Structure 1
């Protein structure tokens, strides 16, 4: 007889936890301000993540066209302050784990702790600083990178192209969505807001040519005769 209130309490707690979790997950919509940040600002930084490819890649058509930027939206009423940029570094470094998000976290850590740099933070201060930062990545993170984002304690994680779109266009992926990683990380001390599918009309084309020989190459590239991979002209 005493179990009913206890079971009801557990059910309420589970529903509250689920509701709290879902409030952290947003699929972006035009005109929707999230955390008081206008949609136009999200678009600006997603375009900046795309632009990182031209700045840091050796080719106008890098195969792994994954770009990221990390921004501080908490100390400014404008667009925010850029901390660092990065791209997928697999082919350059030979490190298979050096995805764009991991490279961005590494780059920002180096910038935040540089004794001669802008911030000059201690390692402990740098770790705490991630709670004020937002990472923008032009494609949804793999589970490795989504886990790294959660362990870093970012304030927000914003992505463009979805994992489902990558898979539909031939990309091999570990089929665990970011929202699943975030849901499984509820016990971590920090909470990160996930904002998905920003500017997909501009991010998707970066990932549509690699496995489709009929899709146009990026500007400045072409497919050699009988070739599948776009190359710089």
Structure 2
């Protein structure tokens, strides 16, 4: 699986490159800024781009803006954004262009190597991976109307769903039966006015429905 990495810190860039290569990925380019990132993506057409949110010259939102460009120009390339902080507005911008092949993770999560690599594989395969802190911010952004219909347990299930957990994963975290999780998920879809569909993203749409995306 081919990766383009964009990170302005020399040490972190080198560390991530080694981590990814050791984890079975192939880092085809590792660059320090957004412009070189876009050039590398055009040249290498990787499976996934791993991008720091804040890069030169202003160290504000260069990474997220580059990620949005990649999402528009190369929709088949998965994007995983790494941030020092959970910034809900950046996550919302990123998800507004679609929920397939996208991730927003905090840099602290990289320390949990196996979890990070699993999340990256899920993203590259077309899935979604959102940091729990980001999900929490998205869930509380709007507290009115349909979200208020959910019970505390349903909200807990919804948060795990948005993190990319399968029903089996939810049962393991919450220590409940598989049938109970299925019932919670069905209730969530009903309460958030999400009718049955053949698409694969109702789980993420349940989080995004009232976030204006």
TM-score normalised per structure 2? 0.30
Q: Which has the higher helix share?
A: 2
Structure number, greater radius of gyration: 1
Larger RCO: Structure 1 or Structure 2 (Cα < 8 Å, ≥ 6 residues apart)?
A: 1
